[in-house]
Amino acid sequence: MDDASSKKNPEFRKKSQHFIDIFYIKESLNEVQKNFSEINSQLTDRREDLNDTVKDNMISAYRYLNRILYEKKDIFLKDVSSMLELNYIVLCGVDMGKRIEANQYLNETQHRFYDFVKPIIKWYKKHKDESPLKVASEIYVGVLSRPQLFFEGNHRTGSLIVSYILVKAGYPPFVLNVKNAVAYFEPSSMIKFTDKRELSGKLKLPKYKKSFKKFLEEVLEPTSNMITKEYKKEE
């Protein structure tokens, strides 16, 4: 659904507070996990298996995303550290023991993040009131293209940041499923290998931003069960 058609449906773009239904996130990721070998076989750039740890960490990250939305945090302005926390959860989950073990690595990730997030924040401040689909696409490409925002987990954290932008604006989140997985991973791999500091990369980026926006328009469903007006602290 494009921006023009979504405006015709007031329920889809209603400005009341929305949250992510974790039950449907679990269902979707479980299905992806079951079918991941088949999905992977269709990819040019093969991905690591979606194991239980990766899946559970993503579910925990979506829960944290709901908390961000509930507390009305702005991860691009006053609450930038929440973006970093999403990456920590993607990599280590919520287990403090794992974070202690990875302390040096996470500290290095923190330094990298605060260096590379500056142009993303600068762009967001200027364009935050534009179409949520455009903003989400631009930010995703900014996170994933080189130099990437994080050392690891840029695909997963980037998709969570996209979901934050979308749900905050009343759209369903972007959630990986069996139907959209190949269409998501293939262009994301091209974005990942594009360096935004080089001329060739700068010339490719507008095309990638446009194509990812089109992808979101095609996969987001206004009646999706993924979005709810009810916040559940524990689920």
Write down the residue that tokens 């403090």 correspond to: 96
pLDDT digits (tens, 9 = 90+) for 178-194: 999 999 999 999 999 99
Residue 86 CA to residue 187 CA, distance in Å, equals 23
pTM of the model: 0.92
Domain 3-228: give its CATH code: 1.10.3290
pLDDT at 89 over 70: yes
pLDDT band at 154 (very low <50, low <70, confident <90, very high): very high
- Alpha-carbon distance of 150 to 161, in angstroms, equals 13
Segment 223-231 mean pLDDT: 89
Q: State the Cα–Cα distance between residues 230 and 143, nearest whole angstrom.
A: 30
Q: Kindly report the average pLDDT of the chain as a whole number.
A: 92
> Dihedral (C-alpha) 80, 66, 144, 24: value to the nearest 10 degrees?
180
Q: Is pLDDT of 175 > 70? A: yes
Residues whose CB falls within 8 Å of the CB of residue 73, separated by 6 or more in sequence, listed in order: 79, 82
d(CA 29, CA 52): 10
| Identity of the amino acid at 135 | V
Is residue 26 scored above 80 in pLDDT? Answer: yes
Q: Say which range, 25-29, 42-46, 105-109, 182-186, has the weakest mean pLDDT.
A: 42-46
Please, which pLDDT band fits residue 223 given cuts at 50, 70 and 90?
Answer: confident
pLDDT grade, residue 222 (50/70/90)?
Answer: confident
Place of tokens 């009131």: 129
Q: What pLDDT does 15 receive?
A: 63
Q: Between these two residues, 118 and 233, which has the higher pLDDT value?
A: 118
Stated length of the chain: 235
9 pLDDT above the threshold of 80: no
CA distance 12 to 115: 36
Q: At what angle do helices 81-92 and 154-168 cross, to 10 degrees?
A: 130
